Amino acid sequence: MKYCSKCKKIYFDFEGERCPSCNRKLIDEPNHFSPVYIITANGFELERIRAALESADIPYSYQNEKRETGIRILNSAPPENCEVFVPVSAYQDAVDVLVGIGAITEDNIPEINKDDIEKLNKTKKEAAKEEEELSPGKARIIRIFSFIGFLLILAATVYFADFIVAFVKNFFA
């Protein structure tokens, strides 16, 4: 399994060192949060894919296809040809969901060898382990301390600004 950080695509059973699309050097072991291209869709199909990924709790993002040049009117339907991305750790689950709803046909499923399946499972376990390390209680405590730290920085900034203004006032008075 190799990953292109520019195209955001995974290449299975690929022997080259450079991406066939953009010629960038491929990465052997991508980060489990690295976005991976999974499908291009538009309109109703895009909404169907988004709903399926959301219901399966699979994080995703989408953006206009790079070749898209059409003008989009505010409050209109999603633009044509959006590329959908999922994290590397959720790639296999996303493929399964999209096959289940018929967005990807059986013919278009990339063949993944056992080594690549193990790599995908390893990234999935790493992501799950990282999420477990930060329990909701710890996250709440971190948010509280972050807020207190922000208030302290804000108070120090105001105090310093008042000090500078008083100094300048006394200097010219």
Q: Are 88 and 30 in contact (CB under 8 A)?
A: yes
pLDDT at 18: 87
* pLDDT, tens only, 7-60: 888 887 777 888 888 888 888 877 777 888 888 888 888 888 889 999 988 888
Q: How many domains does the chain have?
A: 2
Domain of 19 in residue numbering reads as 2-133
Total residues belonging to the chain? 173
Same domain, 101 and 119: yes
Beta bridge partners of 37: 85
Same domain, 14 and 60: yes
Confidence (pTM):
0.60
| pLDDT band at 118; cut points 50, 70, 90 | confident
Same domain, 110 and 171: no
Same domain, 100 and 128: yes
pLDDT at 151: 96
Block residue for tokens 């709790």: 57
Q: List the CATH number of the domain containing 51.
A: 3.30.70.1530
pLDDT at 149 over 90: yes
Same domain, 60 and 30: yes
Same domain, 91 and 26: yes
DSSP 84: E
Beta bridge partners of 64: 82
